[in-house]
Chains A and B, each alone.
Chain A
Amino acid sequence: MANLEPSKQRRGLVAIDGAMALIVILLVVQIWLLSATLETVLTGHSGAVVPAAIFSGLMFSGCLALDFFVTRVDQESRKS
C-alpha cells in the first residue's frame, strides 16, 4: 500500500465510493419495488408482478456488475 501512487489510489477510492453509492441507490429502489409489488398483489391486482420481477432482476444485474467493478478496481490499485 505504501508504494502506491497517491493519485491512483485516490482515484480508485473515488471510483469505489461512487460504485457503492450507485449500489445503495439501486438497493433502495429494489426495496421500494418489492414492497409496492407486494401491496398490489395483496389487493388482488397481479398485472405489475412480471415487470417488477424483470426490473428487479435488471437492478440486481447492475449491482452485480458494480460489485465486479469494485473488486477489479481494488485489485488493480493494489497491484500497481
Chain B
Amino acid sequence: MPLFRNPGREPLWKDEFSVFTSDERYVTRRQFTKFLTLASLGMFVGNLWILVKSLFAKTSAFPIVEVADINEIPVRGVKLFTYPTSQDHCIMIRTAEEEYVAYRQKCTHLSCAVYYSAKNDRLECPCHQGFFSVKDGSVLQGPPPRPLPQITLEREGTKLHAIAVKGG
C-alpha cells in the first residue's frame, strides 16, 4: 500500500475515508489535528447556534384559564386540569382553607404522572419513587433532577384561574 497519495486521483476525503479497506490511506498528524480543530469549530458553532436561538426565542404569553371553583375542592383535595394546552396535564391541591397550589403533573425524571399523597402530604411519582414538596414542588427524594413546574393561580371571587407556568 503506497504511503503517499497520488494528487488529483481522488478527492482527499474519499482517499482518507474510503469505504474499501484496501483503498485507505494513512492520515498524518497534521491532517488529524486539522480534523480535530474543525470538530472544535463545529462545537463552537453549535454553542453559537444555541445562543442565537435563545436570544430570538419568543416568550410565550400564557392564557388565563378558569380551572376550578373553590367550593368544589375540599381541604387536602385535588383537582386535575390541563394548562396551558390540552396536552399539559396539571394537578391542583387545596392545602389549607385558603391555600391552593398547582403543578404540572409530569414527573421531571421520566414524565410519569405524579399524584398527591394526602397521608404523606407530598406529590409522589409511582414509577421511581420520586417525591416532591407540596409547598413549592421541590424534589424531596428520588431521581427527579428538577422541581415540578408550578402553575401560578389567581383567585377571582370563588373562581381560580391559571395565569402562568413557572419553571417550565
A interface vs B, CB < 8 Å? 16-17, 19-20, 23-24, 26-27, 30-31, 33-34, 37-38, 41, 43-44, 46, 49-50, 52-53, 56-57, 59-60, 63-64, 66-67, 70-71, 74
| Contact-size category for B | 20 to 34
Residue B39 lies at the interface, judged by CB distance under 8 Å to chain A: yes
Interface contacts beyond A20-B36, A23-B37, A33-B47: sample of 15 additional A-B pairs, CB < 8 Å, sorted by A: A16-B33, A17-B29, A24-B36, A31-B43, A37-B47, A46-B57, A50-B51, A52-B47, A59-B43, A59-B44, A60-B37, A63-B36, A63-B40, A66-B37, A67-B36
Which 10 residue pairs spanning A and B have beta carbons closest together?
A30-B43, A56-B47, A63-B40, A60-B44, A46-B54, A67-B37, A53-B47, A53-B51, A56-B44, A23-B36
Residues from chain B with a CB closer than 8 A to the CB of A44 are: 167-168
CB distance from B109 to the nearest CB of A (A): 13
Contact B44 A57 (CB under 8 A): yes
**What separation, in Å, do the CA atoms of A19 and B53 have in the docked complex?**
34
Q: List 28 A-B contacts (CB under 8 A).
A: A16-B29, A16-B33, A17-B29, A20-B32, A20-B33, A23-B40, A24-B36, A27-B36, A31-B43, A34-B46, A37-B47, A41-B50, A41-B53, A41-B54, A44-B168, A49-B47, A53-B44, A53-B47, A53-B48, A53-B50, A56-B43, A59-B44, A60-B37, A66-B37, A67-B36, A71-B30, A74-B29, A74-B30
**What separation, in Å, do the CA atoms of A8 and B37 have in the docked complex?**
26
**What separation, in Å, do the CA atoms of A66 and B32 have in the docked complex?**
12
Interface of A is mostly: helix
Output the residue of B51, B146, B167 with the most chain A CB within 10 A. B51
